[in-house]
Structure 1
Amino acid sequence: MQIKQTLNRFYVHNIEQSIEFYEKVLNEKCNLRFKYSQVNLELAQIGNILILAGSDEALKPFRDTQATFLVDSIIEFKNFLLNNGATVIRDLKEVPTGMNMTVKHLDGTIVEYVEHKN
């Protein structure tokens, strides 16, 4: 059970502008970009930044989520978290990159867990 990467989440309206800016600031290229049509969002990753772009209405259900943890085994993390006082807000589901769930930790922090498909 391992967290492979922690992503800071930035919520924006203009993904093109944000990608261009953060590529310059971080001196890195966007290494992941996709439309998540089911929730009317477009996502992009540059380094340790996850950009979520959409309307205020589309972003609203996700704004309280403070980070994304990329993990090696989402099932193991779900079991661990439930045994350690966490509450599942959005249960396991397939997403364009693999599987995810959103969890509220014992301290109130809300984190998305993602296991990328191979």
Structure 2
Amino acid sequence: MHVRQAWVRVFCEPRALDDTVDFYRGLTGGEVTLRYGYKEQKVRMAGVKSPTLSVLVVAGEPAARRPFEAIALTLEVDDVEAVRKAFTYIGGEVLEEKATETGAKTLFVRHPDGLLAEYVPHTPTRRTTAAAKE
């Protein structure tokens, strides 16, 4: 398993999404590579990727954001199943598994030090499509 990209999460009100994205684009010199929403949870997300810092901005009302705020880090990996095996070996805990819109697996994991992280599969097609919408 290799980490392809690490995303720190930043949270904001819905009306601040574009300004927050612009701030992190300017700060990092990065580009917007993700834009999507979760209608059921009433949040929208945007990703700003750069070689030095990648930021996943989660926008929504405080109550809608709360379930997302426990996760500090999103890690994009080349093999989600290898993450499961590694965490079984090192003593971490897989808390939840969800399927993405493409049917791929996403894992929510507690690291041995207590950090909560999301592991997502690398999906270059979705990233390209999202970037084109920007």
Q: TM-score range by the shorter chain?
A: 0.7 to 0.9
Equivalent residue for 1:84?
A: 90
Alpha-carbon distance in structure 2 between the residues aligned to 1:97 and 1:49: 24
Instruction: Determine which structure has the larger helix proportion and give its number.
Output: 2
Equivalent residue for 2:77?
A: 71
Does 2:14 align with 1:8?
A: no
CA shift, 1:29, in A, is: 2.6
CA shift, 1:97, in A, is: 9.5
TM-score (norm 2): 0.78
Equivalent residue for 2:119?
A: 113
Does 2:35 align with 1:29?
A: no
CA shift, 1:43, in A, is: 0.9
Q: What SS class does the counterpart of residue 38 from structure 1 fall into?
A: coil
CA shift, 1:96, in A, is: 7.0
Instruction: Determine which structure has the larger strand proportion and give its number.
Output: 1
TM-score (norm 1): 0.87
CA shift, 1:89, in A, is: 2.1
**1:46-93 deviations in Å (ceiling 9; x for gaps):** 121111111111111121211111000111111211222112222232
Unmatched 5+ residue regions in structure 1?
A: none
- Amino acid of the residue matched to residue 55 of structure 1? E
Equivalent residue for 1:40?
A: 42
CA shift, 1:95, in A, is: 4.6
Structure 1 runs of 4+ with >3 Å offset: 95-99
Q: Is the 8 A contact 2:4 2:122 kept in 1?
A: no
What is the root-mean-square deviation of aligned Cα atoms in Å?
1.9
Does 2:12 align with 1:19?
A: no
Unmatched 5+ residue regions in structure 2?
A: 126-134
Alpha-carbon distance in structure 2 between the residues aligned to 1:84 and 1:93: 24
Q: Is the 8 A contact 1:36 1:96 kept in 2?
A: no
Q: How many residue pairs align between the two structures?
A: 118
